[in-house]
A = this chain, B = another copy of it.
């Protein structure tokens, strides 16, 4: 598949406000802008592969990308799902290690690539930017600690409920008193997020549906009763 480039100026990027680049001085932003390459990806294309060396930073301008690890049997575990404004692959870049995960496009995406050198230059010149990146990384790490504990001690039902609420927070679109999770996830992907088998997710989703907690809307899920879902997630009873 040929790479389809597109063009955009960082200062005019509609997602700048959601990005770590927000607040960067014009000079540094233009340095980023002048060195970046912007590419359009189709669903299913890979951005980077586990085991390869990062050569720069990806910055999401559109679409959704899953970042996941494959285990020996080929089972996926999705670490996170990147949306416009998010950085992609910065962990391995900053620790100067190989990628430990693979990134694949879930919904057609526009992604800008900033070469390692330009990113590091701006990072080193700009302590405030560095501080914000560090804060973001450490915040991210806190989320992972949370996930670890959740994975260790919660049931699949609880984890599914918790993850639906999390997806609702991040990708939710409000509408007629409920929230649509604006993310076309397959049951298999949802299972890879929760850390369980596809069949189990299917069964639990239909339970949640018959209990009136959620509804299906095409490939998407609508959260009808977030509070009841939270009860399922929090093990208040069990």
Instruction: Kindly state the interface size class of chain A when it binds its partner.
Output: 35 or more
Tell me whether A69 and B145 are in contact in the complex, defined as CB-CB below 8 angstroms, given that A75-B153, A195-B153 are known contacts: yes
Are B94 and A138 in contact (CB-based, < 8 A)?
A: yes
Are A72 and B234 in contact (CB-based, < 8 A)?
A: yes
Asked if A13 CB lies within 8 Å of chain B CBs, one says no
With beta carbons under 8 angstroms apart, the residue of B73, B79, B97, B149 that contacts A69 is: B149
Asked if A137 CB lies within 8 Å of chain B CBs, one says yes
> Taking chain A's interface residues, is the majority helix, strand, or loop, or is none over half, making it mixed?
helix
Asked if A141 CB lies within 8 Å of chain B CBs, one says yes
Q: Which of A34-42, A127-135, A175-183 binds B?
A: A127-135
Residues of B within 8 A of A141 (CB): 91, 95, 137, 140-141, 144
With beta carbons under 8 angstroms apart, the residue of B97, B133, B140, B148 that contacts A148 is: B148
As a 0/1 sequence over residues 208 to 238 of chain A, the CB contacts with chain B under 8 angstroms (1 = contact) are 0000000000000000000000000011100
Asked if A204 CB lies within 8 Å of chain B CBs, one says no
Asked if A47 CB lies within 8 Å of chain B CBs, one says no
Interface residue ranges of A62-84 to B (CB < 8 Å):
69, 71-73, 75, 77, 79
17 contacts between A and B (CB under 8 A): A69-B145, A71-B149, A71-B154, A72-B234, A72-B236, A77-B148, A79-B149, A92-B138, A94-B135, A95-B139, A95-B142, A100-B145, A127-B127, A144-B144, A148-B151, A151-B195, A152-B196
**Which 9 pairs of residues, A with B, have the shortest CB-CB distance?**
A152-B195, A95-B138, A77-B149, A94-B138, A69-B149, A151-B151, A144-B144, A77-B152, A95-B139
